[in-house]
Every structure is written in structure tokens, then in C-alpha cells.
Amino acid sequence: MIEQIGGNSLAYVLLDATVKGVLVLALAAGVSRILSRGPASVRHLVWSLALCAVLVLPALTLLVPSWSVPGLSRVAPAETPAVEAGTEQVAPRARETGSARIPPAKARAERPGRFSVAAQSIATAGGGSAGESGVATILEDEPARLSLSGWLALAWLAGALIALAGIIAGLARTWCIARRARTVTGGVLSGATAELAAECGLARPVTVLQCDGKCMPMTWGVIRPRILLPSGAATWPDALLRAVLRHELAHVRRFDYLTQLLARLACAVYWFNPLVWIAARQLRIERELACDDQVLRAGSRASDYAGFLMEIALSMRPRPLTSLATVAMARPSQLGGRLRAVLDSKRSRGSLNPRIAALFILGAALVVLPIAAAAPGQGATVSDDTGSNATVSDDTGSDDTVSSEAARGEAVSELRGAVAGTGVAERAAFAPEIVARSVRSSRTASRAAAALCDWDARGGSTSTWMEGDDDELQVKISKDDCELEIDLSGEITFSADETDIVALSSGGELEIEEKEGRSSRRIKIEADGSGNLERRWWVDGREQAYDDEARAWLGDMILVLFRRVGYQATERAERILARDGVDGLLQEISYISSDHTAGRYFAVLLSQGDLDPETVRRVVRQAGEDIQSDYELARLLIEVAENQPLDESVQIAYLEAAGSIDSDYEQRRVLSAILKRENLSPQVGRSMLQASSDISSDYELASLLVELVEAGFVTDEMTGDFFRAVGTIDSDYEMRRVIDAALKHGQPSQRFLEMALETAQEISSDYELAQLLVDVADMYPMDRQIPASYLAAAGSISSDFELSRVLAKLMERGDLSPASLAAVLELATEISSDHEMSGLLKTVARSYGLDDRTRGAFFRAADDIDSDFELAAVLSTVVTSDWVTEADVEAVLESALEISSDHEMATLLVEVAGRHSVDGRLRPAYMRAVETVDSRYQRERVMTAAFGEEA
């Protein structure tokens, strides 16, 4: 764990201070043990000094000059990352793939891409494996995570805040008690306090407060101390009152409130260390014993005072939370040990002599300062696999070297590992790239130890601020506990190998400063009027001669200026491309940790007009691995989609890179861009459909699916994949939009229509579902029966208006079979609105008519109408229709029995009598209806219409 933390991070400082604090507390425990029969005041001083030392250890560790302790790295973290046997720590660090090292890929390549599996199916569907098509499978690593030191820092912060919250709550509680308590300004309590304060030599004014009830005597405050007593303290016996006041005044005189707060703070900072809590507890014990000794030295009898303590501890209770921010006189949990100590006549009860206190403080400083300054010894030499040695130096000034033989051995080993198991042709193509990469790694490794921080490493918490341009530039970079400032004015000319500055424009200046904890490096280069360069070099704030170490450090900082800041990015990329070709430029991009800078280098490569598909594929794959920024990666991929050749291998790489984008918006933009190209593999659409469910944004997913439809990728073979993707959309509007677009794009097949209807049942919005069903009703083949899926979807609509709209749309087609019409009428019984039901049934009556298969369903639906007006209107429509038969009229008369309004019933019956003869078969049904009319006037009107005046 210690090796993984490394550096002067917050986690390192805490762990370092914890290890050293254990040593300090162990020494304090040993001294306290030796003084076990001595005065409690001396032991209290020992524990106070120990806890104060533990509290200031982190600051002392950063402030005092360090000294190296060989072997300390076994128990304390080193300030530089540990070097493991068999490896070289170089910058930039490489990760291993197989037996060959490749440049570090960024976090997006370290998780499975959305299209990784699907894209590989393109090559397989094309008739060969990925290897046969010249496409190598991407090796994806684990996703970037918060560093171990970051997690430890967060855990520490959470615990510290909880502990500090307790202290703050105690202070707030004490403040409330002080506001509610009464201040004693005279009488017995005030006089006794003043007398006893003068007796013990206390010069600070003490305020005495009285609470309501039996509160525990306690004290708090440093500059203006307060003593809290219960309400009945003035009536106590004189011996008890004086014992209590002497005890509390002893706390005030000894500044016990301050030492307790410091102990509480130490517990908050080191909440994870049980030894600190034990030390704080021991401090409280010795504090009370020292004050008890003060009371006994003043003349109180031990037996009487023990009784007082027992009485106060058992009859009074401290207020909640006050123990965190006050010094209480007696607690039941501490009573047993205190009583034994009070009654022990052999104990030493001497006071703390100022000279003895000064000697202890001086001794503590002489012990704590060297412990705080101790640093782990470094300079261990390790061997690599070739037998050559790599030396990592400590802070004593030894040179940082990496054997050139080791570098060459690494290159050879890497080349051998890379070509192992490959074909002859592949080895011939791959070898130059590996050799170039290994040489570049060797060159970087030779300067690896110069910089304080690894600015090329991915991950960590990094922030960059830049202002100006290439001629006037200010840069500030923070990464974890590292800081880098660059201030540049004027034009710079670099050496051919870009490791030094050979010229600055007249009056130009470059200043670079790197800091990590207590360590710092700074260089300042100025050009005089003649163009001569003056170089000044500082190490840890001390100016030194400009030497090889300074040159190596400047070389590393120039790389940071190029790679992270992006200085002269376009010009440098063009130089590298002209000098080292495509391989060299891609190799350099792999070391660039800034996504924006890497994008500018990629842009230079893509601006070349003669790129072959293989080069484009390599660019796309490396960009997908190296670029973390969704925006930067999307911009690059869109550039590829719009301007570069896209053969099958490029399409595979393109989908892989797109799948690593987290942003739904950027991913959809990237996929939309490639869909605009012609001659795409049919499997591109299938791959997108199979993996598009990973897009969480309903809008972006719906937009992509619509574009796939419009691009013609949603064929009958892909219908299942398409609707599985549609089914993942939560938004009713977006789901309807996608299905609607698919239905309107060409003539949908029967299978497509049925799957659309099944998927539509997932739409919960009545409006959206109704709108979709209305659209489907327009395009469904007229010679086919309405499928059950359509009726099931319609049946899920709860809105009477929307359901009637859907059913009315079906009826408006005019081609429903009797069976379909009967099904529609059965579904209409779900409509509870009389108005909507009436309108729907009147449409049936006008457009279709009734027969033996539909008559029963029609009148069952009519019977659900509660409104006399609406029911009469429906029945009137049937009666006045041209197709009506005697059986229909008889059914109308049976249904009319539900009408309770005399007016509506009479009007309907008059209409029946006017159009049909009510003699014979219809007469019984007609007369049953007449009998329901209560109004004599309406009954006469009905009978006259049916049978004339003689009725």
C-alpha cells in the first residue's frame, strides 16, 4: 500500500505522520510508565507534549530539513515511488501488452467499448476473422479510477469531519449553557472564588455561572475562563464548596481546557489511530488526578474529598455533548481510579516546577524534531531482466542514471516479444514501429528521474490554466500535489532533439518552476540585446550552478511544454511527421496526455491528402484509446467520417472508438457522421442496433434510430434488432417518433407492422399511443383483419377521447369486416364517456349497419350509455338508417327501456312509429316501452303517433 501511495500527497503526509506519531506516543508511554509513582502533573505534561507533537508532525515534516534514515522505507512511505525488482520506472510509463511494451493508453481504452463485440462481427460477417482482414483486436484495460491516495484522503476527510462535528457541537452546547446560566456577581460564591483564585496565584479573571438544577461543576475558556456550578452551590457546606472551587480553579490555572481541545483535535486528525485516542484518554485521567492533588495539597482531608467526589459524580450529571468542549469535575466512569489515587497516602502530589516543565519541553523538542525530519533512505539499485543496473538516487545529490545497456536490452526484448507468434509479413511491418518506440522510450528513460513529477502519466486530479499565445504565454498546471508554472515571452528556438533551448528573441524570457511538497526546481533563461542566453538554476530555493541535472530537468520540462501545454503543436507535429513519418507521429501522440493537444497532432496527420485506409484505421484506433475527452474524440472521428477513406477495417475501428465515448450526444454525432457515407457495410447498421441500447438518452437514441431508418439499414432481417433497441426508450414521445418514422419510410411489411404494434404497447401516454395507432390504421393492409396486437394496444388507452379517436379512425376506413367491427365494438365498451361512446356508435350506424354478427356487440355498447339524450340519439340514428330491419328496430325498443326521460323516450317512439309499423312482431316491444312513460301528455303523443286518434 505504501508503495502505491508514494509522493508528498495528503495521504502520504498523514501516513508518514502516523508512523512517526506512533514512535512519539510510544516514547511518551515509556516516560509515563517510568514516572508512574511521580506527580500526576508531570505525567500530564508528558502526554500533553506528546499529543501536541503528534498534532504538529505533518507541518514539521514539511518545514524542517529532512535527513535520510536507511531502512525506514520498510515502515514509512518513501517520498519517491519505490522501484520494484525487475522493472525500470521511466517517464512516460509504459503498460505491457503481451511481451511488448506499448505507450500508455488513456482511461477510455481501459473499459469495454459499446461497439467492441458488435464491430468485430463485421469482419466475421465479411468472410474472415479480424486477423485475416488486417484488423487487430483492441486490448481494453480497466477503467480509470480515483487513485489509492485519493480514496485514502477522502476517507480521512470524512472521518475528520465527523470528529470535528462533535467538537463543534460541544462548543455550541457550551455556548447555549452560558447564555442560559446566571452570572454570579456577589455573595458567597463570588467571594470564595476570588479568595481561592488569589490563593493559587491565578491572575486571569474567572466568571462564575449558575445553572438551573443539578448540573455537573465544569469549566471552560482560556482567556476568559468560566466555572459552572449547580443552582444550590451557595448552600453547600464550606468544605465542599471550597474543594469544588479549588478543583475547577486548578483546571483554569493549568490551562486544562486548552490541552483538552488540542487532544480532541489530535483525535479528529488521527481518528483512525487508536493510540491517539488512548493517549487522549490517559491525558484526561492525569489531568483530573493533578487537580485532585492540588485540592489535597491545599489542606482538604483525603477521606472527605473522596466523599465529595462520590457525591458529585452520583448526584449530578454533565449536560449532553459538554464533555467534548468542557472540563467536568467528576464522571462515574473515572471515579474508581480517582478515589484509589485520592486515598493512596504514598502517592507523590507535588506541583509542576517551571524548571522541570522547561526541561521536559526542551527534551520533547530535541526528540520530536529529528523524528519529524526523518525521511526514508533511498538509492537502492535494482536489476532488470538483462542484467544491467538502473540506479535511482535519493535527495543527497547523486546522479540519476539508467544504463544505456539496459535501454538497448529493453528494446531488443521488446522487439523479440512483439514479433513472437506473428507471421513473417506481419513481423516485417511491425518491427520498425517497435524499434522506433523502444528507442524513443530509451531516450525518455535517460531523463526520467530529472523531473519531480510524472507529467505524462494519465489519471490523477489535474487542472491547467493557460493565457496568451506562443509568443506570450503563461501556464499553471496542478496535478495531485504537484505544481508547474511556465512564463514565456518571445520566440524560442529549440535544439534539433528538442531537449534544449538554443535561442530566444531579443528581450525574451522563459521561466519554469516545478514544485512537489518541499521540493522545487526553477530555471530562468533570458536573452540579452545580443541574443546571448543567461541561464539561472535553483534547487529547493537555493541557486546552483547550471549543470547536467539542470539540463536534464529542462529537457523534461520542454517535453511538458510540448505535450501537455501544446506549445507549437501544429508546427511540431509537422516536423515530426516530416522527420519520422506516420509511425513517429503516432508514437509521439501516445505520450501526449492533453486531449486537446493530441487532437491537434492528429489533425495534422489527417490533413495529409494521401492517407491510405490502413493509416486511417491506426489513427482511429489510437485516438479511441488515447483521447479521454468525448468532445475531442468526437471531433476527430467526425473529421475522419467526412474526409477519409472508410474501408471495412476503418469502419470496425470507427465503431470501436465511438463505443468508448461516454457522452450520448457526442456518440450520436459520431455515428450520424458515418451514416452519411455511402457504401457502408450492411453490418454497420446491425452493429449500431445491437449496441445502441447503451445510449441512455432517449432523444439521442431516438435520433440515431431515425437516422438508421432513413439510411436504409432497418431491413426485414434487422427488424428484431431495431425494435429491441426501440423498446429501451423510456420517453413515450421518442418511442412514437421512431416507430412513426419507420412506418412512414417505405411500405412496411406485415411482420414489421405487427412488431411495431407489439412495441407500441410499452407507450404509456394515451396521446402518443393513440397518434401512433391512428398512423398505423392508415397504412395497414385493407384486406387483412385487424391484428390482436392493435386491439391490445388500443385497449391499454385509458382516455375515452383518445380511444374513441383510434376506433373512429378504424371505422373511417370503411372496410372493416364484420368480425373486425364486432371486435371494435367490444373494445368500445371500455369507453365510459357517454358523448364519446355515442359518437362512435353513430359512426357505426351510418357507415356499416348491423347484422347478426355485430348487432349484439352494438347494443351491448349502447346499454353502457347512461345519458338519456345520448342513448336516444344513438337509437334514433339506427331507426332512421336505410339498412335498418325489423330485428334492428326490435333491438332498439329493448335498449330504449334504459331511457328514463319521458321526453327522450316519447321522441324516440314517435320516430319509430313514423318509420315502421308497430303492429305484429314489434307491438309487444313497443308497448313495453310506452308503459315506461309516466307523463300522460307524452304517452298520448306516442300512442297517437302509433295508432292514430282512436288510440
- Segment 219-267, tens digit of pLDDT: 988 888 999 888 888 888 888 888 999 999 999 998 988 998 999 999 9
Residue 770, all three cell numbers? 393513440
Residue 497's identity, in one-letter code, is D
523 has a pLDDT exceeding 90: yes
pLDDT at 145: 53
For residue 132, the model assigns a pLDDT of 39
Q: Is the pLDDT of residue 751 over 50?
A: yes
Residue whose C-alpha cell is 479521454: 628
C-alpha radius of gyration, the chain, whole number: 45
Quick one: pLDDT at residue 68? 61
3-class SS of residue 923: helix
Q: Report pLDDT for 619.
A: 92
Give Cα 133 distance to the centre of its chain: 39
HSE value, Cβ hemisphere, 13 Å, CA-based, for 892: 30
| Residue 130, pLDDT above cutoff 50 | no
Answer yes or no: is pLDDT of 300 > 70.
Answer: yes
Question: What pLDDT shows up at residue 538?
Answer: 94
With 60 as the cut, is the pLDDT of residue 287 above it? yes
Grid coordinates standing for 789?
Answer: 396486437
Which DSSP string corresponds to 800-831? HHHHHHHHHHHHHTS---HHHHHHHHHHHTT-
Share the mean pLDDT of the chain: 78
Q: Is the pLDDT confidence value at 122 over 70?
A: no
Judged on CB neighbours under 10 Å (0-12, 13-18, 19+), 84 is: exposed
pLDDT confidence tier of residue 721, bands split at 50, 70 and 90:
confident
pLDDT computed for residue 120 by the predictor: 52
Is residue 584 within 8 A of residue 615, CB to CB? The reply is no
Q: Peptide bond preceding 104: is omega within 30 degrees of 0, i.e. cis?
A: no
Task: List, for residues 353-377, the tens digit of each pLDDT value.
Answer: 788 888 889 988 888 888 888 776 5
End-to-end CA distance of the chain: 110
pLDDT at 522 over 70: yes
For residue 611, pLDDT over 70 is answered with yes
DSSP H helices, 460-594, are: 548-563, 569-589
Q: Convert 839-857 to b/e letters by CB count within 10 Å (16 or more is b).
A: bbbbbbbeebbbeeebbeb
Quote the pLDDT of residue 877. 92
pLDDT of residue 804 exceeding 50: yes
The stretch 270-281 carries a mean pLDDT of 91
pLDDT in tens, 180-221: 888 888 888 888 888 888 888 888 889 999 888 778 888 988
Closest Cα partner for 567 from 483, 657, 501? 501
Q: Band the pLDDT of 278: cuts 50, 70, 90.
A: very high
Q: How much is the pLDDT for 115?
A: 63
What percent of the chain shows pLDDT beyond 90?
Answer: 17
Given this model, what pLDDT does residue 146 score? 58
**Model confidence at 141: pLDDT above 50:** no
- Say how many C-beta atoms besides its own lie within 10 A of residue 21's C-beta: 28
Q: Where does 590-731 have alpha helices with state H?
A: 595-606, 613-626, 630-643, 648-659, 664-675, 682-691, 698-710, 719-726
Confidence bin at 767 (pLDDT 50/70/90): very high
> Between the ranges 89-103, 559-573, 767-781, 782-796, where is the mean pLDDT highest?
559-573
